Structure 1
Amino acid sequence: MRHTLPPSAEDLLEMAETAFAAIPVELRDAVRGTAILVEEVPDQETLDALELEHPWELTGLYRGTPLTEKTNLDVPAGPDTILLYREPILVEWIETGEDLFRLVRNVLIHEIGHHFGFSDDEIARLEGEG
């Protein structure tokens, strides 16, 4: 039996960048300059802030100032960031059998959507466009 390695952080980042390039242009334009990063799992501080007990409960997170709260007078502390968490994504992929690219795309869109205050229904519509 041949064994292969699970997808790496670089593999997931490549999928996320491909997915980002394919989302609706108005959404892409609204988050221009946002960094997309892949980390293994959320850190303890993040889990505590979100009141989560296990790192596999969080597949992604948007860190930054919501667009509705930004002003021209703000001094950016750094780029807004979309974090994708590799291990939780892979666990969900294994448990659900969903296509990995589609799962990464859905996590990415979900995080962008909540940042802009989209409802779950609006996010589901966006997720279904790919």
Structure 2
Amino acid sequence: MTRTFRKPPSPAEFEAIALAALNRIPAPFRDHLGDIILLVEEFADAETLADLGIDDPFQLTGVFEGIGMTHASISDSGQMPNRIRLFRQPILDEWISDGEDLEHLVAHVVIHEIGHHFGLSDADMHALEEQARQS
């Protein structure tokens, strides 16, 4: 169910949208997310932006941090859990400027970051997004 927002959602509402998007990931993928953590922050911190070579904090809507499945090994035990960080203000800025459905935009960012966890190509991420949209 798509909701129409007349004003930007609160941080709690935004997190609920992101969690709903995560829960719509098709089972074959969702079953292999493990203990991935989903965080919503207003903006990426300066260190993250510098590490990615990004000057404008509005240019980063999300990031996957951790060891993706294509690089994981049994010697990785004791590592921090993988996480997806969504950056609320850049996503809201894109939503306002492009007029795209907010829930679709958030789902797009969530799926893109999950795609990095699985080592998916852009075409694979697009197909996963279509499957999630049909759920």
Count of matched residue pairs: 127
What are structure 2's unaligned runs of at least 5 residues? Answer: 1-5
Moved over 3 A (4+): none
Deviations, residues 36-66 of structure 1 (Å, cap 9, x unaligned):
0000000111111111110010101111111
Q: Quick one: which amino acid aligns to residue 49 of structure 2? A: L
In the alignment, which residue of structure 2 is the partner of 1:121?
Answer: 123
Task: Give identity over the alignment, percent.
Answer: 43
- 1:76 Cα shift? 2.7
Name which structure has the greater RCO, CA cutoff 8 Å, separation 6+. 2
In the alignment, which residue of structure 2 is the partner of 1:77?
Answer: 79
In the alignment, which residue of structure 2 is the partner of 1:64?
Answer: 66
Q: Quick one: which amino acid aligns to residue 19 of structure 1? A: A
- Taking the aligned partners of 2:96 and 2:50, their CA distance within structure 1 comes to 26
TM-score (norm 2): 0.87
- Taking the aligned partners of 1:10 and 1:93, their CA distance within structure 2 comes to 17
- 1:5 Cα shift? 5.4
- 1:73 Cα shift? 2.9
User: Within 5 A, what are the aligned runs for 1:1-130?
Assistant: 6-129=8-131, 130=133
- Taking the aligned partners of 1:5 and 1:97, their CA distance within structure 2 comes to 12
Q: Quick one: which amino acid aligns to residue 91 of structure 2? A: I
Deviations, residues 66-86 of structure 1 (Å, cap 9, x unaligned):
112222232233211110000
CA root-mean-square deviation: 1.4
Change (3 A) 1:10 1:76: farther
